[in-house]
Amino acid sequence: MSMRELVTGGAACAVSGSSSSSSNPLGALANALIGSSSKTQERLKEIPNAAAATSHTQFYDDPVAALPGSELDHPFLQSNAQGSDFIRGFRTAHDNGLADAWDEIQRQPHLDRVYNAAPAPPIQPTLDGPPQRVLSSFLHSFVDSSRSGIPLHPTPLPLLGLSQGDKQCIRDRSSIMARHFFADKSEEFINSQVNALLSSLEIDSDSHAKGPMPGRFRELEDYWNESQGILKPGAHAADGWVTEFSQHRAQHGDPDAWAHSFEQQHGAGGWASEFEQEQAQLTLVDQMRGGNIVNLAAIEQTRMLAHTLSQNDDPKFQNSKFLQFVSKMSRGELIIDDNQVKPASGSWATEYQQQFNGGASWADEFVHDEVSHGPAQWVNEFATEREQEPVDDQWVNEFSKLHVDDWAEEFGRQVGEGALGDSSSDNWATAYDEFLNEQVASKERSDASTGVYVFSDMNPYVGHPNPLKEGQELFRKGLLSEAVLALEAEVMKNPENAEGWRLLGITHAENDDDQQAIAAMMRAQEADPTNLEVLLALGVSHTNELEQAAALKYLYGWLRHHPKYGTLALPELVDSLYYADVARLFNEAAQMSPEDADVHVVLGVLYNLSREYDKAIASFKTALKLQPNDYSLWNKLGATQANSVQSADAILAYQQALDLKPNYVRAWANMGISYANQGMYEDSIRYYVRALAMNPKADNAWQYLRISLSCASRNDMLEACDSRNLELLQKEFPL
């Protein structure tokens, strides 16, 4: 989860204009690339029906903390992109355990969190990663373009946000695996392998060869627990296999026999001494865990692999998606060095300039970082981790070490290599650089708008006598972009108007701009903490973000503030909301009034949260029987079907939504996604183009379009896409 939050960024570090949601291809690729992803590719959406309830108390204490993507559970991982880059860089130069301790914290597996959040029913790991095909196709198109010499502008893969642990995974795993393919290919490589092996033998557990080991601390803890006799709570099998298992045990004799025989030989203390031994080893490993030497060695290794790869002319091999993947990594295009993402060769200069001339100096970044993290927290963490060191000195040391020496060295090395590189790889690198630069730029842009609503510059509706009415009218007509302006004028005039904010949020959502939608909804909730529509919308948003705890809070809040079901909600639940409890309450509500479509809608959302898509689909269908003309409900149904890998059905549902509301930009875009998911890229292009014709500002859709164009081998139209030449695109891809 942490990696996904970083990459998709939550609201905080999403690429500007696009959202943290996986409804954009960025998110989709992030999901595909870094996994975890039950952030669904297509999003549910809030209900646009107007309804209001009056406000009393705010049921949710800390709306800011609840901002989607605001790292509710990962205070360290402020997703401010520059900030994390900085921290990442800062961490690099370490040569002791701090970095690893942090990694450890970062890498708390998703599962654990899910379990912690809801220990009652073991929720499934919330991951599915539907857009894998997007990644594969993307890699394929990358390969194609490099062969045909057309510089590919990859749609931004949000790799910049990968956590330290993820990067280690990439580096370690790819270097381990890559050795399997190329070990006998070149003398150089064999040497490097032998060296790696020797150094690993030296320290017994190969921190050199495999890179730093983020998992060690956990193991230590496990051993500790073991020695303390704390048993990990195993899941309780509800059925008979345990019994059956015991029977087998009886048949097979005493299963403890091994343990006994071991104890007999080594005495009861055998395990304890093994434990001690390991502790000693761990300490040793920690000491040996140098930072950069290790990493440089790993990079050097993959670099040699890349060289080997380029000499292999077996066509089958050259077509291998995996080898292209590894190759990119080994070029430093995908591998992320500890300091920062390191685009290969010349782009360093560019990036350097962008970062420095662009006004984001290191100092700025640091300040920025501090602000977003809260200086106290940062310092505290730091102090806790390194009590024995004087904080300031250490920091200064690390900082200067990293940015003066390593950085310069790395820079020089990269530039030197770029100059010597062969031309084809240069093309590749250049294309990649451009995209990285774009990333940097767009990140800078998005930093400004982190979780904050950003108003349009020139708004003709400012000064309009009744902008709310005008906005509602425009919304009804489906002129969403215009409606946004009118509604912005309204909320600028009346910042406390919850309805204005709510409608603004819905308009943004329908216009496929989730970041703004969420920001607006947060403002709506501030203004009116008990508005049912807003609560539901936020529940949906958090479901999309897979923030179960927050989603449950909002959905529970919806129930609590509902005039009819408020009595069902037990106040004592507020502090410990479990999925099962909330789902049970809503099922009760549904029994209470089976004709209330809203309850079924919430149930559908809840089932999305637990990934019981069949039930979710059934709930939405029930709701649709009651409200067949609710286009957003059709969209929800479609998104759920798409999530349960029923893309064909999803298209039918989206079609229903579009029949009801032809200007529903999001449904057009979702339709495109569903086609793309089925590999029908040409079709998906047409739908994206249609969506863009309606809202050219839908940045997500531009990115989807780019992917689909690449996947459909329509590189000839990429330029039209980049220049946003809608006229040409519409002519080329009529619907």
Partner 1 sequence: MPVFKTPFNGYSVKFSPFYESRLAVATAQNFGILGNGRVHVIDLSPSSPVINELIAFDTADGVYDVAWSESHDSVLVAAIADGSIKIYDTALPPHSNPLRSLKEHAREVHGLDYNPTRRDSFLSASWDDSVKLWTLDRPGSLRTFREHAYCVYSASWNPKHADVFASASGDCTVRIWDVREPGSTMIIPGHEHEILSCDWNKYDDCLIASASVDKSIKIWDVRNYRVPVSVLNGHGYAVRKIKFSPHRRNLIVSCSYDMTVCLWDFMVEDALVGRYDHHTEFAVGVDLSVLVDGLMASTGWDELVYVWQQGMDPRA
User: Between residue 259 and residue 298, which ones bind partner 1 under the rule CB under 8 A?
Assistant: 259, 261-262, 265-266, 270, 274, 278
Residues numbered 31 to 70 that lie near partner 1 (CB under 8 A) are: 32-38
Residues numbered 601 to 630 that lie near partner 1 (CB under 8 A) are: 610-612
Task: Give the one residue of 129, 156, 346, 539 binding partner 1; rule: CB under 8 A.
Answer: 129
Nearer to partner 1, 132 or 354 (CB): 132
Nearer to partner 1, 140 or 493 (CB): 140
Which amino acid, 19?
S
Of 361, 154, 34, 344, residue with least CA distance to 22: 34
Q: Please, what is the minimum distance in Å from the beta carbon of residue 21 to partner 1?
A: 18
Which range, of 75-83, 115-123, 416-424, 562-570, touches partner 1 by CB under 8 A? Answer: 115-123
Nearer to partner 1, 145 or 174 (CB): 174
Of 293, 341, 244, 264, residue with least CA distance to 93: 293
* Cα angle for residues 688, 689, 691 (degrees, 5° grid): 65
* Cα angle for residues 438, 441, 446 (degrees, 5° grid): 120
Which range, of 202-210, 339-347, 441-449, 583-591, touches partner 1 by CB under 8 A? Answer: 202-210
Residues 68, 12: Cα–Cα separation, whole Å:
8
Residue window 325-364: x/- pattern of binding to partner 1, with contact defined by CB under 8 A: x---x-----------------------------------
Task: Give the one residue of 123, 152, 440, 705 binding partner 1; rule: CB under 8 A.
Answer: 123
- Tell me if 12 sits within 8 A of 161, measured CB to CB: no
Nearer to partner 1, 261 or 424 (CB): 261
Nearer to partner 1, 107 or 562 (CB): 107
Residues 394, 397: Cα–Cα separation, whole Å:
5
Tokens of residue 650, six digits: 């999803």
The H-assigned helical ranges of 229-346 are 241-252, 257-266, 269-288, 292-311, 315-318, 321-330
Q: Please, what is the minimum distance in Å from the beta carbon of residue 287 to partner 1?
A: 16
Task: Give the one residue of 255, 412, 566, 594 binding partner 1; rule: CB under 8 A.
Answer: 255
Residues 6+ apart with CB under 8 A from 13: 6, 20, 69, 79, 80, 81, 84, 161, 443, 446, 447, 450
Please name every residue paired with 505 in a beta bridge, in sequence order, or none if there are none: none
Rg (C-alpha) for the chain, rounded Å, is: 27
Nearer to partner 1, 333 or 406 (CB): 333
Sign of the CA dihedral running 402, 408, 411, 413: negative
Residues 6+ apart with CB under 8 A from 652: 638
Task: Give the one residue of 5, 128, 433, 447 binding partner 1; rule: CB under 8 A.
Answer: 128
DSSP letter string, 574-611: TTS--HHHHHHHHHHHHHH-TT-HHHHHHHHHHHHHTT
Residues 735, 718: Cα–Cα separation, whole Å:
19
Task: Give the one residue of 54, 56, 57, 239 binding partner 1; rule: CB under 8 A.
Answer: 239
Task: Give the one residue of 50, 177, 367, 391 binding partner 1; rule: CB under 8 A.
Answer: 177
Residues 681, 675: Cα–Cα separation, whole Å:
6
Nearer to partner 1, 258 or 734 (CB): 258
Which range, of 196-204, 349-357, 528-536, 567-575, touches partner 1 by CB under 8 A? Answer: 196-204
Q: Which residue has the tokens 């993402």?
A: 341
Residue window 375-414: x/- pattern of binding to partner 1, with contact defined by CB under 8 A: ----------------------------------------
Residues 26, 143: Cα–Cα separation, whole Å:
19
Task: Give the one residue of 49, 55, 96, 136 binding partner 1; rule: CB under 8 A.
Answer: 136
Residues numbered 560 to 589 that lie near partner 1 (CB under 8 A) are: none
Interface with partner 1: number of residues (CB under 8 A): 88
Task: Give the one residue of 41, 320, 525, 641 binding partner 1; rule: CB under 8 A.
Answer: 320
Task: Give the one residue of 116, 119, 147, 322 binding partner 1; rule: CB under 8 A.
Answer: 322
Residues numbered 207 to 236 that lie near partner 1 (CB under 8 A) are: 209-210, 213, 215-216, 218-219, 222, 226, 231-232, 234-235
Q: Please, what is the minimum distance in Å from the beta carbon of residue 110 to partner 1?
A: 4
Q: Please, what is the minimum distance in Å from the beta carbon of residue 544 to partner 1?
A: 18
Residues numbered 151 to 170 that lie near partner 1 (CB under 8 A) are: 162, 166, 169-170
Q: Please, what is the minimum distance in Å from the beta carbon of residue 656 to partner 1?
A: 27
The continuous run of DSSP H or E covering 67 comes out as: none
Phi, psi torsion values for 397, nearest 5 degrees: -60, -50
Q: Does 204 bind partner 1 (CB under 8 A)?
A: yes
Task: Give the one residue of 50, 64, 65, 237 binding partner 1; rule: CB under 8 A.
Answer: 237
Tokens of residue 426, six digits: 């240069």
Q: Please, what is the minimum distance in Å from the beta carbon of residue 137 to partner 1?
A: 12
Query: 618 exposed, middle or buried (CB, 10 Å; 0-12, 13-18, 19+)?
Result: middle
Q: Please, what is the minimum distance in Å from the beta carbon of residue 86 to partner 1?
A: 22
- Tell me if 510 sits within 8 A of 575, measured CB to CB: no
Q: Does 147 bind partner 1 (CB under 8 A)?
A: no
Nearer to partner 1, 126 or 530 (CB): 126
Query: 33 exposed, middle or buried (CB, 10 Å; 0-12, 13-18, 19+)?
Result: buried
Query: 193 exposed, middle or buried (CB, 10 Å; 0-12, 13-18, 19+)?
Result: middle
Nearer to partner 1, 314 or 387 (CB): 314
Q: Please, what is the minimum distance in Å from the beta carbon of residue 308 to partner 1?
A: 12
Task: Give the one residue of 51, 64, 119, 124 binding partner 1; rule: CB under 8 A.
Answer: 124
Which amino acid, 413?
R
Nearer to partner 1, 185 or 403 (CB): 185
Q: Please, what is the minimum distance in Å from the beta carbon of residue 194 to partner 1?
A: 10
Which range, of 56-64, 321-329, 472-480, 663-671, touches partner 1 by CB under 8 A? Answer: 321-329
Helices (H) and strands (E) in the chain, counts: 38, 0
Task: Give the one residue of 51, 62, 173, 469 binding partner 1; rule: CB under 8 A.
Answer: 173
- Tell me if 564 sits within 8 A of 542, measured CB to CB: no
Q: Does 174 bind partner 1 (CB under 8 A)?
A: yes
Nearer to partner 1, 265 or 423 (CB): 265
Nearer to partner 1, 193 or 655 (CB): 193
Residues numbered 91 to 110 that lie near partner 1 (CB under 8 A) are: 109-110
Residues 6+ apart with CB under 8 A from 703: 18, 24, 25, 26, 155, 156
- Tell me if 141 sits within 8 A of 716, measured CB to CB: no
Q: Please, what is the minimum distance in Å from the beta carbon of residue 559 to partner 1?
A: 22
Tokens of residue 26, six digits: 């960025």
Which range, of 73-81, 125-133, 624-632, 719-727, touches partner 1 by CB under 8 A? Answer: 125-133
Q: Please, what is the minimum distance in Å from the beta carbon of residue 192 to partner 1?
A: 13
Residues 6+ apart with CB under 8 A from 4: 30, 31, 34, 35, 36, 37, 39, 546
Residues 568, 557: Cα–Cα separation, whole Å:
12
- Tell me if 76 sits within 8 A of 323, measured CB to CB: no
DSSP letter string, 379-434: HHHHHHHTTTS-HHHHHHHHHHIIIIIIHHHHHHHHHHHHHHS-HHHHHHHHHHHH
Task: Give the one residue of 49, 55, 96, 132 binding partner 1; rule: CB under 8 A.
Answer: 132
Nearer to partner 1, 219 or 276 (CB): 219
497-526 burial, b if ≥16 CB within 10 A, otherwise e?
bbbbbbbbbbbbbbbbbbbbbbbbbbbbbb
Task: Give the one residue of 51, 62, 65, 121 binding partner 1; rule: CB under 8 A.
Answer: 121
